[in-house]
Structure 1
Amino acid sequence: MIECYGDEMSSASTPWPATAGEEHRWRSSLPPEALSRSAAERLRRPYTSAVVPRIADTDVRVPRATAAAAEEASRLIGDFDQEVGRNVAPFAAVLLRSESASSSQIENLTSGARQIALAEIGEDARANAQQIVGNVRAMTAAVNLSEGVDITGILTMHDALMSPAPYAGELRTEQVWIGGTAYSPHDAVFTPPHHDRLTDDLADLVAFARRTDVPALTHAAVAHAQFETIHPFVDGNGRTGRALIHALLRHRGLTRTVTVPVSAGLLVDTEGYFSALTAFRAGDAAPIVDALSAAAVLSVSNGRRLVADLLDARATWAANLTARADSAAWPLLDVVLRHPVLGTELVREQLGVTQPNARRAIDRLVDAGALVEVGGRRRSILWQAPQVLTALDEFAARAGRRRLGSPASVD
């Protein structure tokens, strides 16, 4: 259940269980001659890793102002989901890709819309774009968990994100840490739980995720922060954890048709986001709920502008398009919104038409000003939609970092 308390409660009595710690011996893989005397002495001392509290049955108590902000943000998310759901065919994919790109940008993985579109269709693209497309796959796996979150589903999200890395979809079997030095966790900003604890920690998190007595947005925020505290993977924890937010929002019915790009809102103040995760570990759940609520409000506003820009572009193309009513050019308009860089093979697959008819539909959209021809790899022919790419890049620019976060990534 959720309880609210007055805003004047002191931080000393904040009603959320804090992360504890336990000591472990560190076994360094470095040869002794590679270390200074002081470093070798430090590595002989034990390090402290986190012990996360059990939250499956913990009452979630937040200040009244936090609960009210989460309720208002939830209303905006629901309204946006209904609005865009009327045009779900093109915009579900657009918004999911936008959320994936924003979540990746929090981890300093940035790429332009054109590079991401190229990577999606298997064309040569930069490494960051390829990783962002992996995040699109992870987000897709997340929203498919509408029946409920379980450990298998979390592993599936991570596998979709990190594949073909050898550790994709596998819980870590080693200690990881955030910040400090590269060779030991002794000076880390945060050291997640020892890997021997991961199975029990995740089982408790899944039990919490199955609750229905906590309001959806608060539920997602707390589950996300607990996941980031557990940090169950060698890499990709931040992106998988933000995908988990969407799995819970879909499971709880707050979103039904689209992925609200909340990471675009978190990008506005990554310092505040990382600080909220730190506060959660110290025993205060309110800041992460506040951060997600504020991010949701910003992301809905930004998402509405993106959808409006794309609707305007589509309306202009439709007004300029001269084609028979049964021409493949008309349904191709929505395909272009989903795939702003495309070739004849993609059009043929999407519309179920022959290669010649796919090319004729593309030519109609070139004449309407929707597409322009560009080169592809191995001298293949591609076309791109400049208005869509511009709208996507402007969305990313509006979501760009206003305040830089901690150098210690949550991933």
Structure 2
Amino acid sequence: MVDFQTPPIAFDFPPVEYENQLWKPTNPHIFSNAEVRRQTGSYRSASPALIADWYPQPDSLVIPELEEATHALQNFDVYSLLRLGSENPELGPMSSVLLRTESSSSSQIEQLTTTARQLALAEIDEGDRANARTVIGNVHAMEAALALAQRINVDSILAMHQNLLNQQIGMENEAGKFREELVWIGGTDTAGPRGARFVAPRHELIRDALKDLVAFISRTDLPAIIQAAIAHAQFETIHPFVDGNGRTGRALIHSILRHRRISQYTTAPISAGILRDTASYFKALEAFRAGDAAPIIHTFISASIFAANTGKDLVDSLAAQIDDSATKLVGLRSTSAAWKILPHLISQPVVNARYLKEQLGLGDAAIHRALSVLTERDVLVEKSGRSRNRIWQHDGVLKILDEYAKSLRRTAGTV
């Protein structure tokens, strides 16, 4: 990641302006008189610059590694396609697991952690881990971001957010809705915005600011990674929602990259690259608001190169697991349901009969025969220990996904 002790050459950007506002506690009766006096007073809320027609100085676009990062993402996208083949049934599941890996990393930036098994259990409506359900919401937001990539507008951003918060317990009523209250970063929720590190714009400014951002995203005269980095930072500055701004903003990154045809088949784990050094990422957002976009651009460049390189390793490791499992099925008829289940174990390494019936359209008898075969041949392990509503998992795939997540946490702050 970028060393912010010696920042790169400045990339001038219109700085955020601020409005002076007056704050009074909304429920003063729950505080002491001294605390009410401390909370009452002026604060400054952001007023984001309009950027639809902004253009940098041409020489500032000459950035080392920018071309390398763009080509790395494009090559990873093609590599995934060639590694599995356009007609290979594993391509869809592989794309899904990469998207889920990206969603999980994005959630970890917000301190929402879960294991690959918990996430897979949540996908089949098993388990009761709230974080896993929340991360599933992030998966759905990413899916919406990609599905809506050809027409990025205010409504599609709302749809991303709705898919995100629909799965977050206690936040369902906020899903797909702009906030109508003040939000801030830093300080404490009970103390109001005075003393906060950043106070987001008044909610009355949100819709116009997002319309301006959408106009910026529709342009094609900027390098895609620069456009994605600036659009993401601008979105985080607008902070249009009560919760889920960071995760929606990182889903927007992939919508832009899909729209610009940088990533057409799979989702590179860019948030995994950001996760390695979240402190620098948040510092980069602060620098952006102060009028220098260089740190956030370099953060995205570094994260893109990391995503492409480690993404290839992840694809190879997961494909090797399925290849190994395939050798255990040698001798089975090609029409056997076990062969149909096998590629789906990449994206869904924990399964039950209900999930397989919904996904593959197989009958109960065929599914149970296939699960018996996969268990007997050591492809799957039955983990529930129940006589009904049983659960099977692919230990090898789960191990690879968890080791990838652990490797990001081990390197956090060291690169």
> TM-score surpassing 0.5?
yes
Q: Is the 8 A contact 1:109 1:132 kept in 2?
A: yes
- The 5 Å alignment of 1:8-407 reads 14-32=11-29, 34-37=31-34, 39-61=35-57, 67-86=63-82, 87=84, 88-163=91-166, 165-182=172-189, 183-321=191-329, 322-375=331-384, 379-400=388-409, 402-403=411-412
Q: Is the 8 A contact 1:270 1:401 kept in 2?
A: no
Q: Is the 8 A contact 2:28 2:36 kept in 1?
A: no
Bigger drift between 256-265 and 19-28 goes to 19-28
Give the secondary structure class of the aligned counterpart of 2:156. Answer: helix
d(CA) in 2 for partners of 1:231 and 1:377?
46
Give the secondary structure class of the aligned counterpart of 2:185. Answer: coil
Q: Deviations over 1:349-368 (max 9, x none)?
A: 22222111111222222233
Q: CA RMSD in A?
A: 2.1
Q: Deviations over 1:63-111 (max 9, x none)?
A: 7587332221110100111111243222110100000100000000000
d(CA) in 2 for partners of 1:209 and 1:65?
17
Q: Is the 8 A contact 2:8 2:294 kept in 1?
A: no
Give the secondary structure class of the aligned counterpart of 2:243. Answer: coil
d(CA) in 2 for partners of 1:149 and 1:372?
43
Bigger drift between 191-200 and 79-88 goes to 79-88
Q: How many residues align?
A: 396
Q: Quick one: structure 1 residues 94 and 231, their matched pair in 2 at CA, closer, same or farther if it must change by over 3 Å? A: same
Q: Deviations over 1:24-58 (max 9, x none)?
A: 12132122561342x43343322110011000000
Give the secondary structure class of the aligned counterpart of 1:47. Answer: strand
Gap regions ≥5 residues in structure 2: 1-5, 85-90
d(CA) in 1 for partners of 2:165 and 2:236?
17
Q: Deviations over 1:193-221 (max 9, x none)?
A: 11111111111111101111111111111
Give the secondary structure class of the aligned counterpart of 1:381. Answer: coil
> What TM-score comes out, normalization by structure 1 length?
0.91
Gap regions ≥5 residues in structure 1: 1-6, 406-411
Displacement, 1:345? Answer: 2.0
Q: Is the 8 A contact 1:92 1:259 kept in 2?
A: yes
Q: Deviations over 1:263-311 (max 9, x none)?
A: 0000101011111101000001111110011011112222112111111
Identity %: 44
